[in-house]
Amino acid sequence: MSASARLNGVSDSELERRWRALRGEMAKHGLDAIVATGSNDWLGGHVRWLTDFPATNGYFRSVIFFADRPMSVVEMGAFGGARDFAGQDGIHRGVGIQTTTPAFSSIAQTNTLDGELVSKQLTGCRRVGLVTPGAMPSDLVAAIRGVDGIEIANATEIVDRLKAVKSPEEIALYRQTCRLQDAVFAHVLSIIKPGMRDVDVATAAMAKAQALGSDQGIVLCGSAPIGTAARFNPRQMQGRIIEPGDHYTILIEVNGPGGAYGEIARTIVLGKATNKLKEQFAAMVEAQDYTLSLMKPGAHPAEILAAHNDWMSARGLPPEMRLYAHSQGSDMVERPLIRQDETMPLMENMTFAVHPGYDDGSVFAVICDNYTIGPDGPLACEHKTEKCIFEIN
């Protein structure tokens, strides 16, 4: 089997575009190398963006991106594992040296092992940028700081800004993910019925997503009798049996081709929706539309959040305290965030999930869809699933 047949990835030209852009920024900032580390695919997108290969299962994967040579990768494996791909491998594209060590975050005596290998690869580098250093293992950061003659910089803003604006290929893959999620939700509508557990529906949704090409992600869901909020629950809380008349809320947050993330949420009623549920859902659709009207290139996230909360308060609804809108790409959640502490303005070709919600204990009303920012604001909704409460009798 060819390497390309194994990969659910982006093209060689897309990776090369990212590498050229990053090396251009590194030259401006005098950086010899950038180090990014991740331990999962959901929020480990810096690693996948650089290598098109995810970190998974809690195992740390560190990528050293050099200004003048192929990347080095340090990851979990055998003691002394070392391979030289010379930047020519069909799966580990752009990687020169791959080294391994059996390090686990749960095993204290192994916590220094990754840092020992990463610091060796940085020998001779004078100025090194770290990506989200606050999220890196402390022993890894200490080992990097201990390299002779090294100067450390924070490279997070450099990488985040490059990741945030999507290329035509990235947008095309993102749209395929949204089509995949539409198909998964349609499958849920075809199989959900009283007598199933919440987890049975979630498992069917995840299986469908993977059959259609997803390799990572989550499905959150919850059922409840009318009059009790049906909230998103993690898998360990999805054991409830769905009864006739219940309402069921589901969030399908899986990736698709090239690792691109999107997310869609809808509510299903196994019977008839109450007027209150319909009214609150309609209010969240209006809230989504209002936020979208503010999301133009150059807009500042803190101002969008403030306007959204003013809109909510004017209608007797509580201000949004969650993260209710954010960009997505190789991360399930990536910058810019629509919240008060975000400094990155919106730009054309950013991709966003927008999911206002309202929970008063008796109703959990939510809508979630994905949008791409065009030259004048959001383009048409990337999801084509109807924005409604789905009643199944």
The 10s digit of each residue's pLDDT in 78-137 is 999 999 999 999 999 999 999 999 999 999 999 999 999 999 999 999 999 999 999 999
Residues 134 and 216 placed together within one structural domain of the fold: no
Percent of the chain's residues with pLDDT above 70: 98
Residues 42 and 154 placed together within one structural domain of the fold: yes
pTM: predicted TM-score of the whole model, two decimal places: 0.94
Residues 230 and 330 placed together within one structural domain of the fold: yes
Residues 267 and 375 placed together within one structural domain of the fold: yes
Residues 211 and 358 placed together within one structural domain of the fold: yes
At 11-69, the pLDDT tens digits run: 999 999 999 999 999 999 999 999 999 999 899 899 999 999 998 989 999 999 999 99
At 336-364, the pLDDT tens digits run: 999 999 999 999 999 999 999 999 999 99
Residue 8 confidence (pLDDT): 76
Average pLDDT, the chain: 95
At 55-86, the pLDDT tens digits run: 898 999 999 999 999 999 999 999 999 999 99
Residues 10 and 153 placed together within one structural domain of the fold: yes
- Which of 106, 98, 153 lies closest to 125 in space, CA to CA? 153
**Residue 124 lies in domain:** 3-164
Residue 369 confidence (pLDDT): 98
Residues 39 and 138 placed together within one structural domain of the fold: yes
Average pLDDT of the residues in 158-162? 97
> Where residue 115 sits, what CATH number does that domain have?
3.40.350.10
Dihedral angle of Cα 82, 88, 91, 97, to the nearest 10 degrees: 20
Domain count, the chain: 2
Q: Is the pLDDT score of 2 beyond 90?
A: no
Burial class (CB in 10 A: 0-12, 13-18, 19+), 146: exposed
Residues 144 and 176 placed together within one structural domain of the fold: no
Q: How many Å apart are CA 261 and CA 328, to the nearest integer?
A: 6
Q: Is the pLDDT score of 267 beyond 80?
A: yes
Is 118:131 a contact under the CB 8 Å cutoff? no
Residues 182 and 267 placed together within one structural domain of the fold: yes
Residue 7 confidence (pLDDT): 62
Q: How many Å apart are CA 258 and CA 229, to the nearest integer?
A: 35
φ, ψ (nearest 5 deg) of residue 232: -65, 125
Residue 393 confidence (pLDDT): 85
> Where residue 239 sits, what CATH number does that domain have?
3.90.230.10
